[in-house]
Structure 1
Amino acid sequence: MTYSTITNDILSGTTSGNPGRPKVLIAGAGLAGLTLGMILQKSDIPYEIFESAPAIRPVGAAMVFGPTLAPMFKQCGIYDEFVALGKKNKSINVLNSKGGKEYSVDFSDEKDMFGEDGYILTRPVIYDLIYRQIPKDRIHLGKKILSANQDSHCVTIKCSDGLEYKGDILVGGDGAYSVVRKNMYSNVQKEGNLPASDSLPLPFRTFCLLGQTRKLHITEFPDLAKDPCQFYSTLGDDNPYAASTTQFTPAGGVGATNAMHDAVVLANWIHALPNNASAKEISQAFQAYQSERMPWVQAAFAHSRAFQVTNSKGYLGKMIRFGVKHMPTWMQRKTAISMNINRPQVGFLDQADDTGSVRPAPQINKLNIDMRYNFSVGVRGTGHKNGPSHL
């Protein structure tokens, strides 16, 4: 299973949106871009999505989504269909090259702890579900973005068909090799502010090939009829192909989940902007978004790296797998909490019930209140009850 980590790189301008609200241009109709569009569709924020592909293609493998997206899916009215389309994921069974069971990772307590179960779906299925929530006139296919420029009034993108589009905010949801990021880095480099590490090409060590089977039948594969989903991960003797060297490993849909969390938090801060927001206010919103998301992204990356080592060759991989196999219950619980405690919600929609015994982590912009107050006193205020005082 392979997934792309979708980044949310941003350029800003200062033109007023429709009526005074900031207009958002979203580069890329991947899961991140579509999720942001789905959320903004329920707000007063005008937006457009630009996708370079001329048509939507049903590509991708199975993806595991834990309970952390359930509240947002409920707010957007798609959770029941999401559940109907997927299969519960209660465990991962790790097998050796001969098919023997090495150990299992158990998720059976997820609903009690975090309010809902995890589910596994194919990428085309979850993609289509979110895609259907957005009016088709908001998604522009065959729009490869060649450049993005900003001035004191707006941000302008130029597409390969020669057309230009203007807005107040440009969100890069166009993948690891983002055109938006490339243009933004070019501008920052001219100013002499680009870190040396960011000027290097993205490193990679593995080519991932994805093959799809024919449609399987339960008479041949009886595990297909079982509920919950029977999830197997097989480790080879010398080549543990379950390992991944992408920015996030596939386990748990970490890349896609974090991209969707990005969309939730970014939508909250964009919605919090006052009418006719200034460049300074937009910049403050971006800083607040980054401050809110960065610790969670770093933690997710650490979990992802740990999983990568778990499936690696050599002595260290064997030691880690031994530790996982014999992990005490209290440590399993602690690990599960660290991976599922962040369950962000859209601040400007009715809050979804979260019945988990482990309460979700505090969220700066979660309460259903008018956060625009913050920009009249400064986002980094000193503790007003409606302000994110701990940024």
Structure 2
Amino acid sequence: MASHSASTNTQTDMVPPSKVLIVGAGIGGLFLALLLDKAGIDYEIYERSPESQTLGSVLSLNVNILPAFEQIGLYEELLALSARTDALRFMYDDLRTVASLSLENLKEEVGYDCLLLSRSMLYQLLKSKVPTGKIHFGKKVVSSEQNNEEVTIMCEDGTRYCGSILVGADGINSGVRKQMYSQLKKENKLPSTDSEEQDKGYVCLMGTTSPLDAEEYPFVESKNAVYNHIVGGGSNFSWSEFNVGEKRVCWIVVLQQTSLSPAEAKRLRNSEWSTNVSEETLDVIKNLRVPGGRSIGDLVVSTPDGEVCRVFLEDQVYETWYHGRTVLIGDAAHKLLSSAGQGAVTALQDALILANCLYDLSSQSPESIQNAFQSYKTQRIPHVKEEGAANRTNALFLHGQTLWERTVRYLAIHLVPQSVKHSFILKGASYRPQIAFLPQTPKRGSGHVLPQQPSKRYEAQQQKTKYSDAAIAATIAPEAEHAPTVTAVV
């Protein structure tokens, strides 16, 4: 594979990777695939599961990613699938509302509503836009190797695939990350912090119901989302329900890890998304009350068989995001505590910024690829860390069960002014990255928007087109000036 020197290329002659191997067909991997397709970069997706996965619960998409969905023409489809969030209601287990946060007037300032939908809805939407044959299911990657020319992945079934870049989009327990870290450890290049396990975490049980009877659940027909969050006074549980469109309800039950034995916590930390949830576990949560005289048990019964799942959530931002021709996105690079269903946004943002950097590759040389990966991490890491800190605070507020956490929650509810909470939301809304190689979505709302690193290649192409159009116009103008006048005869 020939390498091209960056010094001999013009900006419009930049050389994208010949093929990107994406491991993981989750939300981040699928979104990256769509962006690479828009960029004219070839790719293939390899997913370990034998078929499409619809596990999970609620997702929250907001101003931090919605402009990008406008760019690729999916915004209106998202609106049709989702419900708009008006407010968060915070309750104790006797269903007394002790606090609420209104979002009704937020759109005027940020330009977008906060949309709630189920993970499966977004997954199916993204998957439907990926060309047939680009996703290969039943491909568990067991090892990889790379050199100056290419990277090769080996699958459990004995197949091998080669490309110029490998993207690990394979989640919290990323096999790509483990293989990369193993190699770095052998070379004594892995930071000690990347080999440490974090103890802080939460066990989540979750699901999305089938379409519900509107007579029994009248709120499911509303396009305004009902977001109820309840904290148990005499238990270690907290739980939430959300209507998300298509007459479905997402539900989540969270158990703080500090209430688990060390052995159980370690076992769950090493597990992946699982539908192996025992009847005994479901019996424990079935009587947790939600508004309307209903319970979590009612929602569990309405969830399709095999789609109640369990996952262990941790809080860790890794230092090492790339090595050689391999790079990580989403949960593979950073495990952030889930906060009101916004975990997917960070993976989508990772995919977006990585696609921007790959579009601007000056060559396929190892040096050029390293520079692209470094630019990706430099652009993303401050925002990931900021999001991680915000999620820790939100998780403490929403799920914390220790005496200290209950005290902090009480003070936050009763002493922090709404204006302060509102200012935090506006600050977070200022980061709204866009796809640098597509026409930009005009700014919406009155709030501040952080500047974004532009695409040198795209700007050069636009400038070239501008000069070309001007030259054509200059050629046509004199000809039009001297053209003979034709007089109509009546």
| Alpha-carbon distance in 2 for matches of 1:231, 1:73 | 24
Residue 158 of structure 2 corresponds to 162
Native 8 Å contact 1:347 1:368 kept in 2: no
1:116 is paired with a residue whose SS is: coil
Q: Which residue among 301, 317, 341 is the counterpart of 2:430?
A: 341
| Structure 2 match to 1:9 | none
Contact 1:144 1:159 in 2 (8 A): yes
Further displaced range: 351-360 or 85-94: 351-360
Superposition deviation, residue 153 in structure 1? 1.2
Q: Report the residue type matching 1:282 in the other structure.
A: I
Counterpart Cα distance in 1 of 2:446 and 2:349: 21
Aligned to 1:241: 238
Q: Distance in 2 between matches of 1:371 and 1:300?
A: 33
Post-superposition offset of 1:353: 1.8
After superposition, what is the alpha-carbon deviation per residue over 1:149-203, rounded to whole angstroms, capped at 9, x for unaligned? 1111111101112111111111100011111111110111111111223223564
Call closer, same or farther: CA 1:32–1:208 in 2, change over 3 Å.
same
Q: Counterparts of 1:47-86 in structure 2 under 5 Å? A: 47-86=43-82
Matched, 1:350 2:434: no
Confirm or deny: 8 A CA contact 1:26 1:33 kept in the other structure: yes
Cα deviation code 1:61-99 (max 9, x no counterpart): 122222211111001110000001000012111111011
Matched, 1:21 2:21: no
* Partner residue, 2:88: 92
Larger Rg: 2
Change beyond 3 A, Cα 1:370–1:161: farther
Matched residue pairs, number? 357
Tell me which residue corresponds to 2:480. Answer: none
Q: Which residue of 1 aligns with 2:243?
A: none
Letter in structure 2 aligned against 1:21: P
1:205 deviates by: 4.5
The aligned counterpart of 1:289 is 376
The residue aligned with 2:293 is: none
Distance 1:223 1:262 in 2: 34
1:116 to 104, 112, 116: 112
Instruction: Tell me the residue number matched to 2:7.
Output: none
The structure carrying a bigger strand percent of its residues is 2
AA matched with 1:42 = K
Residues 23, 166 of structure 2: 8 Å contact kept: yes
Partner of 2:126: 130
Q: Aligned Cα RMSD in Å?
A: 2.3
How many percent of aligned residue pairs carry the same amino acid?
Answer: 31
Q: TM-score, normalised by structure 2?
A: 0.69
Which residue of 2 is the match for residue 262 of structure 1? 350
Higher RCO by CA contacts (8 Å cutoff, separation 6 or greater): 1
- Matched to 2:109, the amino acid is M
* TM-score of the two chains, using structure 1 as the length reference: 0.85
Whole-angstrom distance in 2 between the partners of 1:151 and 1:268:
24
Q: Which runs of 5+ in 2 are unaligned?
A: 5-13, 240-253, 257-312, 316-335, 462-490
Residue number among 160, 166, 174 corresponding to 2:170 in the alignment = 174
Task: Look up the match of 1:364.
Answer: 453
**Distance in structure 1 (CA, Å) of the matches to 2:373 and 2:125:** 28
* 2:51 aligned partner, one-letter code: A
Q: Aligned partners of 1:340 and 1:14: how far apart in 2?
A: 43
Deviation at residue 144 of structure 1 after TM alignment: 0.6
Structure 1: unaligned runs, 5 residues or longer:
1-12, 373-391
- Counterpart of 1:208 in 2: which secondary structure? strand
Flag the 1:126–1:266 CA change in 2: closer, same or farther, 3 A: same
Which digits, 9 at most, give the CA deviation of each residue in 1:339-387, with x for residues without a partner? 2211110000111122121132111136883479xxxxxxxxxxxxxxx
Deviation digits for residues 307-336 of structure 1, max 9, x if unmatched?
Answer: 111131223333334324443243123210
